[in-house]
Every structure is written in structure tokens, then in C-alpha cells.
Structure 1
Amino acid sequence: MAASDARAQSFGQTEINWDKLDKTKFYVVGAGIFTGITVALYPVSVVKTRLQVATKDTVERNAFSVMKGLLRTDGVPGLYRGFGTVITGAIPARVIFLTFLETTKVSAFRLLEPFRLSETTQAAIANGVAGMTSSLLAQSVFVPMDVVSQKLMVQGYAGHVKYSGGLDVARKVIRSDGIRGLYRGFGLSVMTYSPSSAVWWASYGSSQRFIWRFLENGTTNEEAIPSVQKIMLVQAAGGIIAGATASCFTTPLDTIKTRLQVSGHEKRSSMKQVVQDLIKEDGWKGFYKGFGPRFFSMSAWGTSMILAYEYLKRLCAKDEQM
């Protein structure tokens, strides 16, 4: 067998297509796995959000001081403000996202076959299109959840209003702005998360194939089937690369979006005003407020998520795929 065929077979052993999955098991088990990951990484999102809304008068202006302040005033529960809202909304949002991610990816690969692109390029385009499409559709659920949870994350911080819970936030937002208030920043969320998802999945798909090509260079047919440990290492490396790439590109838009979504009715800002305030407070580096936690969050979340996701697919594969 030629080296290129060996590489293709090797990578093929790591891929489990949508039609080979037990869908019921996939959704049920997946809900539990991703909830566990969210529990582990949620505090990073709280810290990142608080840093993004911090003004020049805010005392706590780095990740350590924000975390220390939350623990001092609220204890560990302070690191999980808005968690109930996120978990409630995350399940339907994730079902939408994963379903369209997998189905769109398969369709995109088929559409690209006649162009005879390299495997890495084909993977980047197909995964990128799938990531963007699935993110666009999931925003209808994710944005209201994001608006509510972020208001809970920053309540009492830098002059932000306090709430009694997620329902209280939703009631007050609807009372002041109607249903559209729950979709505040929707356009910017689409502009932030859809490209971010596209970059993430494109980077993951292409980097994974690049790594396999490097590792499998010169292997023989007997060595073509990789071990589970090797598969996981390659997937983890791909997740780190994808998270790092996406965070670098999309943090400025995420900072603007967060500030728009947490602003109150009485001091609502436009996107132009948010941009001007950021530049006035910290110059252009203000757009990268919370970059450290977001970089860590996207890399850690991406790596954890993709390992859990690929494990979930192996776990839920139908008998003929296992």
C-alpha cells in the first residue's frame, strides 16, 4: 500500500460519520458529558465576562483579582453565577449545533469531491462551512441564554444591577425592551460566534489531518491503524490549535458583544459608543480585555470538548462501526 493510502486509512479509522451513530444514545449521553465539562470550565467564563465589562475605575482588573473578589463575597457559588440558565439553554442549543454540524460536514465533503482539493484543504473548507452553519442556527437559542447568564455573571460588579435569578432577568429585560431585548447583540453574536466556529472547526479539521500526515509519513500497512491513545493525542493537539486560533481572531468582537448585552436599559449603549469607550479607556488593547481567560477557555474548552465529543462518537457508534 502506498504511503498516502496508509495515511488515508489511518485517518479513516478516527472518523465516525453521522449515519453510523446511535442518535438517541448520542444525545442522552452527550448531554451528561458536556454538562460535566461546562461545570469544570464555567468559572473561566464568569471571570472573562467580568473583565470585559470592567471600566477604568474598576478595582479588580485582572483574572486573579476578579476570582479572589468573587470567592471573598460569594464563595464558590459566585463562580457559577448564571450557571442554571446556561445549562437549561445549552442542551437544546447543543442538539441543534451538533446535528447540523455533522450533517452539513458530510454534505460539504460530497460537494467538494469534484474539485480534487488536497485532503487538508478539503477538511478545512468542509469543517469551516459546517461550523459556521451550525453556529448560525444555534444562535436562536444561545443568544437569549447568553444575555441572561451574562447579566447574572456581572450583577453587582462595576455598578451593574442585581437580580434574584434568571427568570427575574428575563422578566425585567422583556418589560423594558420586549422579546427583542433577549436578542440584544444578536447580530454581533452571529458575527462573533459564526466566524469563531468556522475558524475553530476549519483549524481543527485541517490541523488534525496535517498532524496525521506528519505522524504517518513512511508508515507501512501494518502500522496504519493508530491506537486510541494516539488518536486522542492528535485530537487534543488539534483542539489546542483550533482554540488558540479562534480566540486570537474573535476576542475583539466578543468584548463588544458582551458589553452590549450586559448594559442596562437606563444606560444602553450603541455598538459605536462601546467601541469609543473601549478605545478611550485602554486604547486598542481594550478590545482584548479578558483575552487571557478567553484564550485559556477556548483552548481548554476546545480540547476538552473535542476529546469528549470524539469519545462520545466512538461510544455511540453502531456495532458495524466499532
Structure 2
Amino acid sequence: MDIVTLLVHCVNELCIYKLCILIKFIQFCRLDKTKFYVVGAGLFTGITVALYPVSVVKTRLQVGTRDTVERSALSIAKGLLRTDGVPGLYKGFGTVITGAIPARIIFLSALETTKAATFRVLEPFRLSETTNAALANGFAGMTSSLFAQSVFVPIDVVSQKLMVQGYSGHAQYSGGLDVARKILKADGIRGFYRGFGLSVVTYSPSSAVWWASYGSSQRIIWRFLGHGAEYDKGTPSLPKILLVQGAGGIIAGATSSFVTTPLDTIKTRLQVMSHEKRSTVKQVVKDLVNEDGWKGFYRGFGPRFFSMSAWGTSMILTYEYLKRLCTIDE
């Protein structure tokens, strides 16, 4: 699911906070590209393995109807373990991992090249370091997200159908290829892009809100710890930096998930519907209100909040580590 949104969060470079002494900006041209993609695939796959069950639980919460017995994250997790064991928490995992490799290559390539180009364009304007970094990273994240959506949305559509199969009246499938074949037969290629517009609308503001919350919360925390704009107490230790990053990630996850969960719920419902039950955004909204009132738009908020916070923090740390690891010695 939400892999694109949380990778966008990784574009936040610590140089914005004047911590260039510890972690400096590493340009894409200075990276060993083969090592960057191969090692990156392994690191990000590890994070996906750890956090994937949260996506499965969140998706099931969002598509459940009024008659669904399992209405909490814990009951859904227990039900999956009871009926399918640990593999039940990884429904659709193979599809996500297979499709995520080309999608990540597209995303990371667009992210780094766009960011470098934007920095060059902004040079004549002589903006502050903070403004330059925010504009370049934000534009790069938005652009790379748009490119990657062409691959990620079909992955979402197929994997989410596998996540909810047999749950709350949803069809059963024999695997990702079976889902793809039935989608193609019922709706053609456009069936793989159901909810594409909502995906773009969801992920873009989610990234913007996450970045704004992450940046502002870290500034407040640093001031609270006695570090002003010029870091009067000297360069913070690495453990302190990691702790502040973690706190900022949690705050950003809470804020962005609160703002964008309604859109994510509507998008998910549209994507998992069978071709016999085609519906519109307006009808999905009506169904949610009729079933649970306005709180229905926040189904899966807990797992989504946890997922966005955990993904955001771990992705930032992993992404920065990956770039340092793959830097070519001059």
C-alpha cells in the first residue's frame, strides 16, 4: 500500500537542521548505482516484511461492513492467525515485493535526479538553506511519487484484493495472477487503475502534511533541548539526533494520518470492489456514513497511524544509511 507516501518522507535531509557535520548531503552522481539499488532493495524489503501485517489489518478494517464480526485491529489479527497462521498476515506480500522493485527504482531515480536539478534551478534566487532544501525535496518527492504511481496503483489494486479475500463477503483468489486475470477480463487495463486519482490526491497531501509536521516538530524539540538556530550547545550526538527523528516521525505520522485517512479509506474501498459491485466515490461516502456515521471514514486509523510513523522513521534512517553506504570514494 502506502509504500510511496512513506518513501517520499525519506527526502528530508538532516542538512536542513544544520547537522551537515554528521550527515551531509550526498549527490546522486556520487553513488554506486548498482550497489544503491541492490542493497536498497534488500533494506527496504526487510522493513516491508516487518511492517506488512499492519497494512493487511488496516485494509481489512477499512473494507469491513456493518455485519462484519471482526471490527477491531486485534480481533482481525487474531482471526487471521487462527484461520491461516502467520501466512495470513502476509496475504498479497508476494505481489507487493515483486512489483515494488521496479517501482522503487523509478521512485529513487526520479527522486534524486529531480532533487539535484531543482537545487541547480534555485541557486540564482539565493534563498536560505532551509528554504532551498524544503523546496527541492518537496518538489522531488511530489514528482517521483507521480511517476511511481503508474506502477504502485496496480500493485495496490491486486495486493489489496488478496488482503481481503474471503473477508466480509469478498471473493477468494488462487494468487496474484488469478486476481490480475480476472481484473483484466472484467475491466481491461483501466481496472488496474481504479482509484488512481484518489491515490494521487491522497499521497500528495499526505506527503506535504508529513513533511511540514516532521520539520516543524523537530525544530520545536531542538529548541526545547537547548539547540537554537545555530545549535549553541554544539553538534548534537548521533543518539540524540535519532531520538529527535523518532519523536518527529511519530508526530508527523499522527498528523498526516489524521488528515488523509478518510481519503485512504474511500480509495481502498473502491480498489477492492468486485466488477459486479462497481461504485462511485459518492456512493462509497454514503455507505460509510450509513454504516458508522462520520467516524466510518477513520476505520483503520490506529494501524495506519502506527504504519506511517514506523515507516516514516525507519525509512529516513534506512535511506540516509543507504546513501552513505553507497557513496563512491573520491
Asked if structure 2 preserves the Cα contact closer than 8 Å seen for 1:256 and 1:274, the reply is yes
Q: CA deviation at 1:57?
A: 0.8
Matches within 5 A, 1:218-233: 219=231, 223-224=234-235, 226-233=236-243
Which residue of 27, 45, 48 maps to 2:37?
A: 27
1:232-251 residue CA offsets vs partner (Å, 9 max, x unmatched): 33433343333233212211
1:105 aligns with 2:106: no
After superposition, the Cα gap between the structure-2 partners of 1:244 and 1:318, relative to the gap in structure 1 and judged at 3 Å, is farther
Give the aligned partner of residue 102 of structure 2. 92
Asked if structure 2 preserves the Cα contact closer than 8 Å seen for 1:109 and 1:122, the reply is yes
* Alignment TM-score, normalising by the size of structure 1: 0.89
Which residue of 3, 19, 24 maps to 1:15?
A: 24
Q: CA deviation at 1:95?
A: 1.3
**Alignment RMSD:** 2.4
1:75 aligns with 2:85: yes
After superposition, the Cα gap between the structure-2 partners of 1:219 and 1:139, relative to the gap in structure 1 and judged at 3 Å, is closer
Give the aligned partner of residue 257 of structure 2. 247
1:141-160 residue CA offsets vs partner (Å, 9 max, x unmatched): 10110000000000000000
1:18-59 residue CA offsets vs partner (Å, 9 max, x unmatched): 233222211110000000000000000000000000111111
1:200-249 residue CA offsets vs partner (Å, 9 max, x unmatched): 3454456556656765436569x44x544344334333433332332122
Q: CA deviation at 1:73?
A: 0.8
Paired residue secondary structure (2:29): helix
Give the aligned partner of residue 41 of structure 1. 51
1:299 aligns with 2:299: no
Q: Which amino acid aligns with 2:313?
A: T
1:57 aligns with 2:67: yes
Paired residue secondary structure (1:282): helix
Give the aligned partner of residue 66 of structure 1. 76
Q: Which amino acid aligns with 1:62?
A: S
Q: Alignment length, in residue pairs?
A: 313
Give the aligned partner of residue 290 of structure 1. 300
Paired residue secondary structure (1:319): coil
Which residue of 153, 161, 164 maps to 1:154?
A: 164
Between the aligned partners of 1:201 and 1:130, the Cα distance in structure 2 is 13
Asked if structure 2 preserves the Cα contact closer than 8 Å seen for 1:121 and 1:206, the reply is no
After superposition, the Cα gap between the structure-2 partners of 1:138 and 1:12, relative to the gap in structure 1 and judged at 3 Å, is farther
Asked if structure 2 preserves the Cα contact closer than 8 Å seen for 1:126 and 1:202, the reply is no
Asked if structure 1 preserves the Cα contact closer than 8 Å seen for 2:31 and 2:327, the reply is yes
Between the aligned partners of 2:122 and 2:83, the Cα distance in structure 1 is 55
Between the aligned partners of 1:241 and 1:127, the Cα distance in structure 2 is 20
Per mean C-alpha deviation after superposition, the further-off stretch among 166-175 and 178-187 is 178-187
1:167 aligns with 2:177: yes
Give the aligned partner of residue 5 of structure 2. none
Asked if structure 2 preserves the Cα contact closer than 8 Å seen for 1:120 and 1:206, the reply is no
Q: CA deviation at 1:101?
A: 1.8
After superposition, the Cα gap between the structure-2 partners of 1:7 and 1:33, relative to the gap in structure 1 and judged at 3 Å, is closer
1:262 aligns with 2:272: yes
Which residue of 264, 269, 277 maps to 2:287?
A: 277
Between the aligned partners of 2:40 and 2:58, the Cα distance in structure 1 is 26
Per mean C-alpha deviation after superposition, the further-off stretch among 74-83 and 232-241 is 232-241
Give the aligned partner of residue 186 of structure 2. 176
After superposition, the Cα gap between the structure-2 partners of 1:291 and 1:24, relative to the gap in structure 1 and judged at 3 Å, is same
Between the aligned partners of 1:123 and 1:42, the Cα distance in structure 2 is 31
Q: Which runs of 5+ in 1 are unaligned?
A: 1-5
1:256-307 residue CA offsets vs partner (Å, 9 max, x unmatched): 0000000001111111110111111111111111111000110011111111
Paired residue secondary structure (2:173): coil
Between the aligned partners of 1:34 and 1:7, the Cα distance in structure 2 is 24
1:152-187 residue CA offsets vs partner (Å, 9 max, x unmatched): 000000000000000000000101111111111111
Paired residue secondary structure (2:20): helix
Paired residue secondary structure (1:15): coil
Q: Which amino acid aligns with 2:180?
A: A
Asked if structure 1 preserves the Cα contact closer than 8 Å seen for 2:16 and 2:129, the reply is no
Q: CA deviation at 1:111?
A: 3.5
After superposition, the Cα gap between the structure-2 partners of 1:8 and 1:234, relative to the gap in structure 1 and judged at 3 Å, is closer
